[in-house]
A and B are shown apart, each in its own frame.
Chain A
């Protein structure tokens, strides 16, 4: 499902002393099947943007189009539930949403609400548990007996079990250890490719954006500040510094390298290993040239 924002504004508590504009005149296009990273400083409107994606809030002004669903101030789609079954949202610290007696029941909660038959739910759970890295014996345990990382996996399985076409991830790796972070992001990346899910990742991490996304949106003060391919957007150091963001470490290294040694390495999202071989090339070339 393509996602389009047309001049969307959203105001909290309008006409009170607490009035606060979270999104101002935002226009966006997220193509179906893309992996889009949304980056922005705290309070840049990321969370509000996410809430528009499955109709939790409606724009004060403008229009949000998700597939066939139109969201505006006056009209809400009658099929809010069907929209929510097709757009899955993994909120920040999703483990806070667990409540059932057993892990299995909690994972089944979403699909059950969306009317998926029990047999189908069981099948999905069976497939999902290895994907999110849970073992089968945990399924009958209480989710509150699990470790933080396991709880997070259960919560994510609960969202994935509805088999959404669009998956929205709000800092899904916050508070995990580095290895857990990598595993989780790799899992989302694989799912994105295998299931062809449109993925929207809200993150602070430039590294994640560069590694996984093919489309980057930078928000500042509720408006779109930059948009484009990661290698184009995330290399503009001065523009990013203006909104308290930094270029990815790899770009920092390349910049430093060219300052120190006068060799420009073109940035094309290479991995550290690829960069090393680039440098080896330069060294060899440099030696033979002189």
Chain B
């Protein structure tokens, strides 16, 4: 069904990036998202691109798979680029097409913004490609821990997140199963007038909701049966621990950031 989109899909592996602490990955990516907006020269962009590409190669996930998985994003990037070509009018006029003037500034601006887009999406999808949903929620729970002081339900939030993440594939499978059954009963999800196709969603959604509610009830019962009573005093199966490699990556990232500050223009 969703053969094309890879955002949110985990590809098992044992590379350095896979083994990093999820907190390291999330922190680095969090700051990377900010510093992407600081780049404003060719060299500073190259520094960031080098960092992103190096991380991508280190994951040992086939590059063709990653790039192909970003297909829907390519459209967005292309669209941004064209939008900038049309609306920006700085610099000198390069060509005139059908009354539209394309400025040199527009091309530069278009490239810069598209590049930002690309880097952002590449790096964030690397997180989900190399980190299991459980690791991500564990990391988030740990990093949000200080908020407990102000009575923020960190554990409950993390539990909700991990449960919903856990059930995404299940629900997708269920959706596929039900849509197959209904297609066999003559429902046409793909062709026909829009109104008919909207109506075709009902036989899909009703059974999906029914089974989702049933599943939630069963899960709650199973959790209680196993003595679950909230986060108080609960220990963890996998303790998160920062290793040497995490420090190394932090160091590398700080160096990259420093390089960025040296190479950008003010």
Identify the A interface with B (CB < 8 A): 13, 15-17, 51, 54, 56, 81, 84-85, 88-89, 91, 94, 96-99, 109-110, 112-114, 144, 158-159, 162
Contacts and interface: CB of A to CB of B under 8 A. Distances in A.
Given A16-B3, A96-B178, A144-B210, A56 B183 contact: yes
Interface of B: 3, 11, 61-62, 65, 68, 174, 177-178, 180-188, 202-203, 206-207, 210-211
Contacts of A158: 185
Contacts of B210: 99, 144
Contacts of A17: 11, 61-62, 65
B3 A98 contact: no
Contacts of A81: 186, 188
Contact of B181 (A16, A94, A144): A94
B63 to A, nearest CB: 12
A99 B184 contact: no
Contacts of A54: 184
Given A56-B180, A84-B183, A99 B62 contact: no
A28 to B, nearest CB: 20
Given A81-B186, A99-B207, A162-B186, 9 more contacts: A15-B68, A16-B65, A56-B184, A84-B184, A88-B184, A96-B174, A109-B185, A109-B203, A158-B185
Contacts of A109: 185-186, 203
A96 B177 CA distance: 9
Given A16-B65, A17-B11, A99-B203, A110 B186 contact: yes
B185 A159 contact: yes
A99 B206 contact: yes
A13 B4 CA distance: 9
Contact of B185 (A15, A96, A97): A97
A114 B186 CA distance: 6
B253 to A, nearest CB: 27
A84 B182 contact: no
A99 B3 contact: no
Given A109-B203, A144-B210, A51 B180 contact: yes
23 contacts: A17-B61, A17-B65, A54-B184, A56-B180, A56-B184, A84-B184, A84-B185, A89-B181, A89-B184, A91-B177, A94-B181, A96-B211, A97-B181, A97-B185, A99-B203, A109-B186, A109-B203, A110-B185, A110-B186, A112-B186, A144-B210, A158-B185, A159-B185
Nearest to B9: A18
Nearest to A144: B210
Please list the 6 inter-chain residue pairs (A to B) with the smallest Cβ-Cβ separation, ordered nearest first: A113-B186, A99-B206, A110-B185, A97-B181, A89-B184, A99-B203
B187 A91 contact: no
Nearest to A155: B181
Contacts of A110: 185-186
B181 to A, nearest CB: 4
A185 B241 CA distance: 57
Contact of B207 (A84, A85, A98): A98
B206 A85 contact: no
Chain A CB within 10 Å, residue with most, of B182, B185, B207, B210: B185
B202 A99 contact: yes
A84 B181 contact: no
Contacts of A91: 177, 180-181, 184
A17 B18 CA distance: 16
A50 B209 CA distance: 26
Contacts of A84: 183-186
A113 B185 contact: yes
Chain A CB within 10 Å, residue with most, of B68, B177, B181: B181
A58 to B, nearest CB: 13
Contacts of B65: 15-17
A97 B178 CA distance: 6
Contacts of B185: 84, 97, 109-110, 113, 158-159, 162
Nearest to B180: A56
A54 B188 CA distance: 13
B215 to A, nearest CB: 11
A255 B169 CA distance: 46
Contacts of A56: 180, 183-184
Nearest to B3: A13
A141 B188 CA distance: 27
Nearest to A168: B184
A26 B207 CA distance: 34
Contacts of A88: 184
A97 B207 CA distance: 6
B191 to A, nearest CB: 10
A113 B200 CA distance: 10
A129 to B, nearest CB: 18
B11 A96 contact: no
B202 to A, nearest CB: 7
B185 to A, nearest CB: 4
